[in-house]
Amino acid sequence: MTETAVADDHALAAELAGAAGRLLLGVRDEVGFADARALKDTGDLRAHEYLMAALVERCPGDAVLSEEGRSSVAGKRARGADRAPTRNTADAERLTAGRVWIVDPLDGTREFSEEGRRDWAVHVALWERLPGGGGRLAAGAVALPAQGLILRTAATGGALLVRDDPGEPLLTATGRDLPREVPLHAPAPEAGKLRVAVSRTRPPEFVRVLAGKLDLDVELVPIGSAGAKISAVLLGEVDAYVHAGGQYEWDSAAPAAVALAAGAHASRVDGAPLAYNREDPRLPDILVCHPVSASTLLTGIRDVGGALPE
Ligand SMILES: Nc1ncnc2c1ncn2[C@@H]1O[C@H](COP(=O)(O)O)[C@@H](OP(=O)(O)O)[C@H]1O
Ligand SMILES: [Mg+2]
């Protein structure tokens, strides 16, 4: 821990994800939905700038890897964004840092720009170097601002589901009133059935092939945002998220941290552990599910290996 680090990184991750999420709800109100490009760009930039400034202030000794600090924002600046974004920590620094915040200020940017959609998220994760080499996800939070929810890791171990809208009564997908904060456990699937979350806009073909091969009643459920899909697994709205063909560390770090803390299986599609803060931030595939489904899915994915995207 750096000297200035807060005692509870888990609470900080949730606080920042929640605040960025509320800021994004305000951007939706302010900019409106008529110009989707303007709404996406403003949301990306404002959430990124907020998180970078907050992390510099609260954890000045830590490094940051943010989606929007990379080339995408440089491109937006070139197109005339009015405020210069704060930059990521230089790669050389983050690759030797003890603690690196891996953030996706707005995951599911497309869905954020579509009126009425609730499947977009803010991801804040903390990666920590281990003394023996390598590292681990030490904390994480996924805010689902349009759903009034935060899914987060807890200092005591495990994961929590937090209602981030104390003023409003809120019903979960299962129709039950949700108290302010409840332990979050990945629920097991119904026997013989498997609901698999896939991208709304670019579902990988191999998941359809996989669905056809499994000896289960498989339903593919299109949802936007990696964080919203992994949250849907943890909330019992689907049973698995299978993705391959491209993604980056910020797309999965925070939701994977929460999923693992909630007792879910989270790995590469070949079963290898998810590894973060690498030189190349590409992390192109992921499987998240209840542990009882993991071997069926990993075997199924291996058997349709030929259909996996490059
Ligand atoms: N083939 C691919 N290559 C790169 N990124 C991908 C990808 N498929 C999905 N992603 C990223 O994963 C997130 C979820 O995508 P999807 O909703 O299609 O499942 C999105 O993050 P952003 O919204 O932060 O860009 C998207 O950019
Ligand atoms: Mg993303």
pLDDT single digits (tens) 50-65: 999 999 999 999 999 9
pLDDT at 304 over 70: yes
pLDDT at 179 over 60: yes
Domain containing 288 equals: 193-307
pLDDT at 224 over 90: yes
Domain membership flag for residue 3: no
- Boundary-marking domain end, from 159, 184, 209: 184
Ligand 2 centre and the CA of 57: distance in Å? 24
Most ligand 1 atoms within 8 A of CB, residue of 65, 70, 104, 107 to mutate: 107
Detail the residues annotated as belonging to a binding site for Mg(2+): 67, 104, 106-107, 251
Residues 96 and 54 in one domain: yes
Residues 164 and 21 in one domain: yes
pLDDT single digits (tens) 71-81: 333 333 333 33
| Burial tier of 92 (Cβ tally within 10 Å: 0-12, 13-18, 19+) | exposed
pLDDT single digits (tens) 97-111: 999 999 999 999 999
Domain count, the chain: 2
pLDDT of residue 306: 72
pLDDT of residue 74: 30
pLDDT of residue 230: 98
Crossing angle between the packed helical segments 249-261 and 226-234, to the nearest 10 degrees: 10
* Average pLDDT score over residue span 23-48: 97
104 versus 67: the higher-pLDDT residue is 104
Looking from the CA of 147 toward its CB, the CA atoms found within 13 Å total 23
| Residue 12 pLDDT grade (very low, low, confident, very high; cuts 50, 70, 90) | very high
* Average pLDDT score over residue span 184-207: 94
Domain membership flag for residue 110: yes
Domain membership flag for residue 4: no
Pull the structure tokens for residue 58.
């609260």
Residues 48 and 164 in one domain: yes
Residue nearest (by alpha carbon) to ligand 1 atom 10: 247
| Residue 44 pLDDT grade (very low, low, confident, very high; cuts 50, 70, 90) | very high
Residue 146: DSSP 8-state: G
pLDDT of residue 285: 96
Residue nearest (by alpha carbon) to ligand 1 atom 23: 108
The whole model's pTM is what? 0.91
* Average pLDDT score over residue span 236-245: 96
Residues 284 and 241 in one domain: yes
pLDDT single digits (tens) 266-291: 999 999 999 999 999 999 999 999 99
Task: List C-alpha distances in Å: 99 to 6, 93, 129, 131, 150.
Answer: 13, 11, 6, 12, 23
| Burial tier of 191 (Cβ tally within 10 Å: 0-12, 13-18, 19+) | exposed
Q: Which atom of ligand 1 is nearest to the CA of 223?
A: 17
pLDDT of residue 221: 98
Most ligand 1 atoms within 8 A of CB, residue of 73, 251, 308 to mutate: 251
Ligand 1 centre and the CA of 132: distance in Å? 33
Domain membership flag for residue 60: yes
Residue 98: DSSP 8-state: S
pLDDT of residue 31: 98
Ligand 1 centre and the CA of 31: distance in Å? 23
Q: Which atom of ligand 1 is nearest to the CA of 245?
A: 1
Reported ipTM: the value is 0.99
pLDDT at 84 over 80: no
Average confidence score pLDDT of the chain: 89
Residues 180 and 207 in one domain: no
